[in-house]
Amino acid sequence: MKPLLEVNDLKVYYQSIWGNYKSVDGVSFKAYENEVFSIAGESGCGKSTLVDGILRLVKPPGYIPSGQVIFEGVDLLKLSEEELRKIRFKKLAYVPQGAMNSLNPVIRIEEQMIDAMLDHSDIDEEEAKNLSLSMLKEVGLPVEVARMYPHELSGGMKQRVIIATAIAFKPKLVIADEPTTALDVVVQKGILQLLRRLKEDYKMTVIVVSHDMAAHAQIADRIAIMYAGKIIEIGSIYDIFEDPLHPYTKGLISAIPSMSKKYVKGIPGLSPSPLNWPSGCRFHPRCSYAMDICSKIEPEMKEVKPGRWVACHLYGDK
Amino acid sequence: MMGEPLLELRDVTKIFKIGGGLGLLGGRIIRAVDSVSFTLPSDESSIVALVGESGSGKTTIAKIILGLLEATSGEVLYKGRSVSEWIKKDKIGYFKEVQPIFQDPYGIYNPIYRIDRVLGIIIKKFNLASSKSEARDLIIKAMKDLGLRPEDLLGRYPHQLSGGERQRFMLTRILLIKPRLIIADEPVSMIDVSLRAIFLNQLASLKDKLGASCLYITHDLNIASYIADRIIVLCHGRIVEDGPKAEIIKDPLHPYTKTLLDAIPTPNPRQRWKEIADLTKIESFRKLKAEEGCIFSARCPYAKEICKAKVPPFVEVKPGRKVACFLYA
């Protein structure tokens, strides 16, 4: 399998008078064709900043000190704005966090969809119009929605308009950042299944970024766990839920309340600050397995089994 | 259930008027809470989850119980006394009994004062200690009871604490006041998963430590089913089902409860949703709410003629289990 997206040692920092916030601090992963790849982590771990970095949406005072984002063999970080524009939307689509609030309240849905399409392709208005109607149908919305204004739609319907627009040109890769926050459970289910369908029906690769582990469990093929600006474990969704390796992942999995669990346990301590990550392994101050080495040397990501990566000194040099 | 209930809501209704400035534009009426009745017993402590989606009226109910909003009609009784009158006459006395924990662990603190002040004020208001050193001892004991480290937290400013710490520090307040009833409105929605569990376990432990009951308001059935003894399901302002947690989860009666339970994502990749949600049926909130009859009839797969015409009575169909649905009436 060849990767569709390969992120190598990507860093995204924010400058401040107190120093650099190292929000994303050396992240590497590969996303393959036709898979749902999830990125999970708690607030402040850098997952949304990672998405900004991949899509080159980082704005000052943020900057990308180093790293590569290779999409279909091309490093996105090296492209000119114009070259990047040709790839974005057509091949690489983005559903941002709170996307439903990004619609312009005084313009009809259809016009907004057409605008976006014309801006990123050479199709004419008639084609764009037809495309927008068929895309609305694709996401289960009645065609009347085209003539409506955003305030006439519920949050979930708006989210579907955004997804419909994002996938209009059948991009190879869709990145959705917290696609279900602030939506009710019934609507959440619909949106998550819609994202899963992009993989099943259109053979797209979908990267879902969310703090919601239950959502990941429902739709992901593989999952990466982020902690303190790093990815600390990658594996199939089954591996991570059934046999988590990293002590943080173990803690995270056992902290999720569910109907079948009698007792959940939290992870004591605090998430560290991006201004001053702990030395060595960034999780060591909260880790019940911490050894001497953990505070001194930062563990590297190692492939402990095929496709199974973890950054922890417990899983040694074999 | 013996004796007088701890808390009783009788036909509580809250109507909000929206728009209609100067009476020219008509405006719209929203029944945020519609004839809600339930009781919490006084003879045993329990955690009761009030579960509903956004717009179901759950926060409005919390505010009415806390006297922050007045019901349009109906009564709220605490230990048999009208809550609004009790608050008018003896506010401190009422809040000695009933304490809230709110959703936003940031809003409670004044950013320019150290966090200790929140507890200091409470000790003074509720007259919990006679001297400064006694007050300090009380605070330290309460914090230690919750596994919080006074030396790490006291003397710090709110922005130096994480959301989880701020919310757990609020539990210290509960432990100091020792209320009989806690009204918790989505207390963990702003706390990370790894710290959420700690908070939930500590909240649950107050049931034994203080003998306090808790009305736990949430949209998250995973959390409700973890923490609660009993679940009350709200749909568009009305209660549709009320019963013991284990039974509701295993055998939901109301079609709305079934819909909710089917939709919750189980955090287990081997238990994925069986059916695909019909996207064409998920529409906007206003269209989803039936104007007449059963509030859920607009999207109920079992809806019959009668469901669209009449409001189903809320009746006990099995011991301890109440449901408002013509399938059982």
C-alpha span between B102 and B95 (Å, rounded): 14
Pairing state of beta strands B213-218 and B47-51? Answer: parallel
C-alpha span between B240 and B254 (Å, rounded): 7
Residue A12 is assigned to a structural domain of this protein: yes
CB contact (8 A) between residue B222 and residue A257 = yes
Interface test with A, best of B250, B268, B285, B287 (most A CBs within 10 A): B268
C-alpha span between B295 and B239 (Å, rounded): 10
Contacts of B193 in chain A (CB under 8 A): 42, 211, 213, 252, 255-256
User: Looking at chain A from residue 270 to 289, which residues have their Cβ under 8 Å from any Cβ of chain B?
Assistant: 270-271
Identify whether residues A227 and A118 lie together within a single domain: no
pLDDT in tens, B45-93: 999 999 998 888 999 999 999 999 999 999 999 999 999 999 999 999 9
Identify whether residues A147 and A182 lie together within a single domain: no
The shortest CB-CB distance from A259 to any of B194, B225, B259 is to B225
Of all residues in chain A, the one with the smallest CA distance to B273 is: A218
Strand partners of residue B12: B36
Identify whether residues A201 and A110 lie together within a single domain: no
Q: How far is A117 from chain B (nearest CA, A)?
A: 24
Residue A285 is assigned to a structural domain of this protein: no
CB contact (8 A) between residue B266 and residue A237 = no
Q: How far is A41 from chain B (nearest CA, A)?
A: 9
Residue A310 is assigned to a structural domain of this protein: no
In percent, the amount of chain B with pLDDT more than 90 equals 58
Judge contact between B216 and B184, C-beta under 8 A: yes
In percent, the amount of chain A with pLDDT more than 70 equals 99
pLDDT band at B23 (very low <50, low <70, confident <90, very high): low
Residue A298 is assigned to a structural domain of this protein: no
pLDDT in tens, A223-233: 999 999 999 99
Of all residues in chain B, the one with the smallest CA distance to A160 is: B279
pTM for the structure as a whole: 0.89
C-alpha span between A249 and A40 (Å, rounded): 10
CB contact (8 A) between residue A267 and residue B194 = yes
Burial of A223-241, coded b for 16+ CB within 10 Å and e otherwise, reads bbbbbbbbbbbbbebbbbb
**Average pLDDT for residues A137-153, to the nearest whole number?**
89
Identify whether residues A179 and A84 lie together within a single domain: yes
pLDDT band at B20 (very low <50, low <70, confident <90, very high): low
pLDDT in tens, B294-322: 999 888 889 999 999 999 999 999 999 99
> Of A271, A294, A312, which closes a domain?
A271
Interface test with B, best of A100, A158, A183, A185 (most B CBs within 10 A): A185
Q: How far is B109 from chain A (nearest CA, A)?
A: 20
Instruction: Give the closest residue to A160 by CA, choosing from A184, A181, A179.
Output: A179
Residue A191 is assigned to a structural domain of this protein: yes
pLDDT score, position B285? 40
CB contact (8 A) between residue B198 and residue A268 = yes
Identify whether residues A178 and A157 lie together within a single domain: no
C-alpha span between B297 and B324 (Å, rounded): 12
Judge contact between A265 and A251, C-beta under 8 A: yes
Identify whether residues A86 and A222 lie together within a single domain: yes
Interface test with A, best of B194, B196, B299 (most A CBs within 10 A): B194
pLDDT in tens, B269-293: 999 998 888 777 765 444 566 778 9
C-alpha span between A99 and A102 (Å, rounded): 5
Q: How far is B198 from chain A (nearest CA, A)?
A: 5
Identify whether residues A178 and A59 lie together within a single domain: yes
Residue A308 is assigned to a structural domain of this protein: no
Judge contact between A287 and A247, C-beta under 8 A: yes
Q: How far is B49 from chain A (nearest CA, A)?
A: 14
Contacts of A258 in chain B (CB under 8 A): 222, 225-226, 266-268
pLDDT score, position A152? 84
Judge contact between B182 and B212, C-beta under 8 A: yes
> Tokens 């860093």 label which residue?
A11
Contacts of A153 in chain B (CB under 8 A): 284
Contacts of B57 in chain A (CB under 8 A): none
CB pairs under 8 A between A and B: 142
Of all residues in chain B, the one with the smallest CA distance to A184 is: B53
Taking the Cβ of residue A260 and every Cβ of chain B, the question of whether any pair is shorter than 8 Å is answered with: yes
Whether the per-residue pLDDT at B1 is higher than 60: the answer is no
> Of A127, A151, A168, which closes a domain?
A168
Mean of pLDDT over chain B: 89
Identify whether residues A257 and A133 lie together within a single domain: no
Residue A313 is assigned to a structural domain of this protein: no
Instruction: Give the closest residue to B226 by CA, choosing from A120, A258, A106.
Output: A258
pLDDT score, position A220? 97
The shortest CB-CB distance from B193 to any of A152, A213, A220 is to A213
Enter the tokens of residue B179.
């209320």
Structural domains in chain B, CATH included, are 7-324 (3.40.50.300)
Q: What does residue A69 show for φ and ψ, rounded to 5 degrees?
A: -125, 95
Identify whether residues A155 and A180 lie together within a single domain: no
Residue B35 is inside which H or E element, if any?
Answer: strand B28-40
> Of A230, A250, A271, which closes a domain?
A271
B38: exposed, middle or buried (Cβ count in 10 Å: 0-12, 13-18, 19+)? buried
Q: How far is CA B328 from CA A136, B104, B197, B312, in A?
A: 39, 39, 37, 9
Is A242 in a helix, a strand, or coil? helix
pLDDT in tens, B160-206: 877 778 888 888 999 999 999 999 999 988 788 888 888 899 999 99
Return all residues near A230 (Cβ < 8 A) that are at least 6 apart: A25, A26, A27, A282, A311
A61 preceded by cis ω (within 30°)? yes
User: Looking at chain A from residue 198 to 227, which residues have their Cβ under 8 Å from any Cβ of chain B?
Assistant: 211-215, 217-220
Residue A250 is inside which H or E element, if any?
Answer: helix A247-254
- Chain centre distance of CA A178: 7
Q: How far is B266 from chain A (nearest CA, A)?
A: 6
Domain that holds residue A131: 105-168
Count: domains in chain A = 2
Interface predicted TM-score of the whole assembly (ipTM), two decimals: 0.86
Identify whether residues A158 and A181 lie together within a single domain: no
Residue A300 is assigned to a structural domain of this protein: no
Identify whether residues A67 and A210 lie together within a single domain: yes
Enter the tokens of residue A150.
């955003």
User: Looking at chain A from residue 142 to 181, which residues have their Cβ under 8 Å from any Cβ of chain B?
Assistant: 142, 152-154, 156-157, 160
Q: Among B107-121, B134-148, B203-217, which range has the highest average pLDDT?
A: B203-217
Identify whether residues A138 and A20 lie together within a single domain: no
The shortest CB-CB distance from B249 to any of A187, A194, A259 is to A259
- Give the domain CATH number at A37: 3.40.50.300
Burial of B92-127, coded b for 16+ CB within 10 Å and e otherwise, reads eebbbbbbbbbbebeebbeeeebbbebbbebbeebe
Enter the tokens of residue B85.
């009158």
Instruction: Give the closest residue to B154 by CA, choosing from B108, B116, B111.
Output: B116
Whether the per-residue pLDDT at A86 is higher than 90: the answer is no
